[in-house]
Amino acid sequence: MVAAAKRWFWVGSRPEVCDALRDVLGGAPADVSLDKAGDGDIVVIDPMAESTKLATLPHGHAYSGVRALKQRRGLAVYVMVAADDPTGVQLARFTLADGVLTWHADSQALDSDELRTGAYSSSRPSVDDLLTRLQNEAGEQGKENSLQRLMRFEREDTLLTKLQDAETGLFDGHYATLKIDEEWKRAHRFHQPLSLLLLDLGFAEGMTDVDRRAALAEAAGVFLNECRDIDVLARFSAEVFLFLLPGTGADGAQVLANRIVASLRERLQGQVAANPAGGLCTVPSSDIRDRKSFVAVAEACLTTAKASGAGGVCSSWQ
């Protein structure tokens, strides 16, 4: 039995698993909202729970919920995984869970070693406490050490922050220009495809500044949701956004472009043109010899898409 926790909270729907946890944790789960969980409490999350149970978590998702709950100091979060789940343990560790509890469905048994051995201790100092202690000790020496310099640099505006567009949080055109040159060289050096998408939102006429900013933020959310971490997203001009897609050929770029346009139509109804227009270009291509031509062809395709009046995406190979 685990006696360290004041209370424990159960985010799950399988009664047999909950009964096993009762035996380990010495009683029933807390009958209060998860919002009340705090210092010294334990939360056990079952990713296989019914959606209504997961909806009580931050973001309504098991692993996103773990990361959010771990922001609360002194709260221990454990994830339930099936014995035959090959990725559950890695996901739990990645989301900063304090431990993993394994459920054996065939024998109806719970492996709770990480709870029984005290993997979590409410008296364990937090990372913030350790950093403060190190900072104070360094300060007594009267010199700025590496930790203090790192923290000072973190407080200051970085170069990348200065290259961000204030309204969307995406990078601006200057940064995009640098990345086009960099990715162009990399694509040719390693013989990999590279695609460039220019997308014109086409704001509706008569929009107020507040509505325009809200539409830009919503569009940026669409872009970040649809793209990969390695893709370069930037605001190229007032209404045109640039997407640089390393390692992406014509087919993959077309699928992504169509998906982005469809998402914009759904989420920005009435705020932007009914049919946002895009110009798409992919290399290697016998017609494109340098990066200036690369951008020029994408712009020409964008102009064609806008001129058609129907919007959508015009590709260099069409």
Same domain, 23 and 98: yes
pLDDT score of 317 more than 70: yes
Phi-psi region of 35 (alpha: psi -120 to 50; beta: other; left: phi over 0): alpha
The answer to whether 94 touches 74, Cβ cutoff 8 Å, is no
Give percent of the chain with pLDDT exceeding 90: 37
Residue 288 sits in a domain whose CATH number is: 3.30.70.270
Report residue 244's pLDDT band, with 50, 70 and 90 as the boundaries: very high
Residue 36 sits in a domain whose CATH number is: 3.40.50.2300
Structure tokens belonging to residue 187: 């694509």
Q: How many CB atoms lie within 10 A of CB 40?
A: 16
**What pLDDT score does 194 carry?**
95
**What pLDDT score does 142 carry?**
59
The answer to whether 198 touches 278, Cβ cutoff 8 Å, is yes
pTM: 0.51
The answer to whether 42 touches 76, Cβ cutoff 8 Å, is yes
pLDDT in tens, 76-97: 999 999 998 877 888 888 778 8
pLDDT in tens, 110-131: 998 887 655 444 444 555 565 6
**CA angle in degrees (0–180, nearest 5) for 45-70-13:** 10
Mean of the per-residue pLDDT values for the chain?
82
**What pLDDT score does 2 carry?**
56
Task: Report the alpha-carbon distance of residue 225 to residue 231 in Å, rounded.
Answer: 12
Structure tokens belonging to residue 66: 């773990």
The answer to whether 7 touches 41, Cβ cutoff 8 Å, is yes
**Is-cis flag, bond preceding 284, omega within 30?**
yes
Task: Report the alpha-carbon distance of residue 214 to residue 5 in Å, rounded.
Answer: 44
Same domain, 195 and 288: yes
Residue with tokens 């014109």: 200
Same domain, 292 and 270: yes
Same domain, 237 and 310: yes
Identity of residue 261: V
Q: In which element (H, E) is residue 301 found?
A: helix 291-308
Give 303's contacts (C-beta < 8 A, 6+ positions apart): 279
Find the mean pLDDT for residues 250-260. Answer: 93
Same domain, 102 and 65: yes
Structure tokens belonging to residue 97: 């869970």
Task: Report the alpha-carbon distance of residue 35 to residue 57 in Å, rounded.
Answer: 9
Same domain, 90 and 207: no
Neighbouring-strand partners of residue 242: 198, 234
Of 230, 289, 292, 285, the C-alpha closest to 256 is 230
Structural domain including 147 reads 127-156
pLDDT in tens, 94-114: 778 888 999 999 999 999 888
The answer to whether 182 touches 176, Cβ cutoff 8 Å, is no
Strands (E), 160-230: 171-172, 194-200
Give domain status of residue 161, yes or no: no
What is the count of structural domains for the chain? Answer: 3
Give 154's contacts (C-beta < 8 A, 6+ positions apart): none
Same domain, 69 and 142: no
C-alpha 202: how far from chain center: 27
